[in-house]
Amino acid sequence: MKDPYETLGVTRTASDKEIKEAFKKLARKFHPDLHPDDKAAEGKFKDISSANDLLKDKEKRRRFDAGEIDAAGAERPRERFYRDFADGGVNASHAANEGFASNEDLEEFLRRAFAGGGQRRHETFQARGQDVSYVLPVEFMEAVNGAQRTITLPDGKTLQVTIPEGAEDRQMLRLKGQGMAGFGGGMAGDAYVELHVEPHPFFHRKDDNIHVEVPVTLKEAMLGARIEVPTISGPVTMTIPKGSNTGQTLRLRDKGVRNRKTGQRGHQLITLKAVLPSAEEHELVAFLENWQPKHPDHPRKEMLA
């Protein structure tokens, strides 16, 4: 089953109220009564309901976040990570994994098993350390612009993680030699860090392009204006053409995400949204009541055809 947070469109830090509101909104949209004989909508509604059942239950949500159960509520097999061995020491894990009381017992067994006589009988068996895996939630702006993060492990050890500029959701980073220590002087394993990029309140990424909806006043849309708009690298000033309308898209070149392979930046695509005044404007109302447009529009013509 899909991740319940993704199914409801909320972040992992969402409050109970946000989860409840997201469920209500989606339930109204995909309820079977509104989509009779629509199997896709029915399946979507079931997914939404299952996700809500899991996340509204505090204990189930805690166990899911801890990796103890999956999205269906089923028990997950316990995985062994670096933190499982923090109390007993990293090297002790090799012997414990193989059923030996200590590393010395394991080493003695391996000496006997692989001894061929002479000097070889006294050589120490070496083994590479285990790899470890971590999940690192990162903010949207950290992913697109790059950042430095520090992970503190349960045993107090810290890992320095460089989030590359333009990092993508579910991207895996490899930290060579930062896993568990090797056995008998063997090389340490690697640490693998999976990035989970959190959504942004108004920026949306598609490939290397950034999409954002920008509200404009009625006056700015009708008469044109120079306005300040946000980008992932900071606010910039741009021109709104005269006679702009809701849904019109403008482009800011090279204001998107830098491609990790080519080094070139994508663009920022701005979709305009004309908004009416929030307060009463009596002069505007009076004008519209007496206004007779020379070129009447029919915005719902296609819908009613």
pLDDT, one tens digit for every residue, the chain (305 residues): 689 999 999 998 999 999 999 998 998 888 877 777 788 888 888 889 889 999 999 999 988 888 888 888 777 765 444 444 444 333 434 444 445 555 555 566 666 655 554 444 445 678 888 888 888 999 999 999 999 998 887 678 888 899 999 999 999 999 998 888 888 888 989 989 999 999 999 999 999 999 999 999 999 999 999 999 999 999 999 999 999 999 999 999 999 999 988 989 999 999 999 999 988 889 998 998 888 888 888 888 888 87
* Amino acid of residue 96: A
52 phi and psi angles, rounded to 5 deg: -70, -40
Distance CA 212, CA 231 (A): 9
DSSP 100: -
Handedness of CA 243, 248, 252, 253 (dihedral sign): negative
Which residues touch 70 (CB under 8 Å, ≥6 apart)? 1, 64, 76
On whether the CB atoms of residues 41 and 32 are closer than 8 A, the answer is yes
pLDDT value of residue 73? 76
Distance CA 32, CA 53 (A): 18
List the alpha helices (DSSP H) in 210-281.
Answer: 218-223
∠ CA 13-203-162, rounded to 5°: 70
